[in-house]
Chain A
Amino acid sequence: QITLKESGPTLVKPTQTLTLTCTFSGFSLSTSGVGVGWIRQPPGKALEWLALIYWDDDKRYSPSLKSRLTITKDTSKNQVVLTMTNMDPVDTATYYCAHMTVGTIFGVVSFDLFDYWGQGTLVTVSS
């Protein structure tokens, strides 16, 4: 059974750095064809993909937020960490992590599907 849970601060001040941890079970991030991604959702708004990391430590970032994001994994702890610098009130959102099933063709990633999601954690940015 695959489960994921996000943890981190519920309140951060503008300009601070946000660090979120996704702790998962039921799979290993060292297994080929597996990844973990982060998605956020401002209150009442749509989903926005942020970043993802694959089993081989390859990473992808949203172009609009790339300069502010860093994603890392700790396979031994079954955790993925997302950091976002220079937080602003517009970054107030529920942040989700999700398990990805990754498909490859001739060793190149062809797709990555968010198939299991954590419950999300609400982060408010306010002074």
Chain B
Amino acid sequence: EIVLTQSPGTLSLSPGERATLSCRASQSVSSSYLAWYQQKPGQAPRLLIYGASSRATGIPDRFSGSGSGTDFTLTISRLEPEDFAVYYCQQYGSSPRAFGQGTKVEIK
């Protein structure tokens, strides 16, 4: 079973700053089947990135994903006010499908 560990737990930044979120897997994630989701309060998660680096439909290009094997990163190049939210990584290539515990990006 793959366990995903996200860091940091909370990231305090100002609008316009760059955000770098980490997701580390306990075992190699097959074929980079790693996704990132954004969740705002009271809303369902929204798919941002799949395949470690491909943006989902309609996702702005300030969001980018990278990594392979056990280390993955979500980068938001310049934070917009609407980007302050909780972000989850998820591996979807092996069973059980696991989510990380989340990183909250909050306004500093």
Contact = CB atoms under 8 A, between A and B. Distances in A.
A binds B: yes
A114 interface: yes
Given A49-B96, A62-B96, A120-B44, A115 B90 contact: no
Contact of A49 (B31, B43, B99): B99
A112 B92 contact: yes
B35 interface: yes
What's the interface size class on A, roughly? Answer: 20 to 34
Binding site of B, secondary structure by majority: helix, strand, loop or mixed? Answer: loop
Contact of A110 (B31, B98, B102): B31
Contacts of B67: none
A96 B44 contact: yes
Interface residues of B, number: 25
Contact of A113 (B43, B44, B50): B50
A117 interface: yes
Interface of B: 1, 30-31, 33, 35, 37, 43-47, 50, 56, 88, 90, 92-93, 95-102
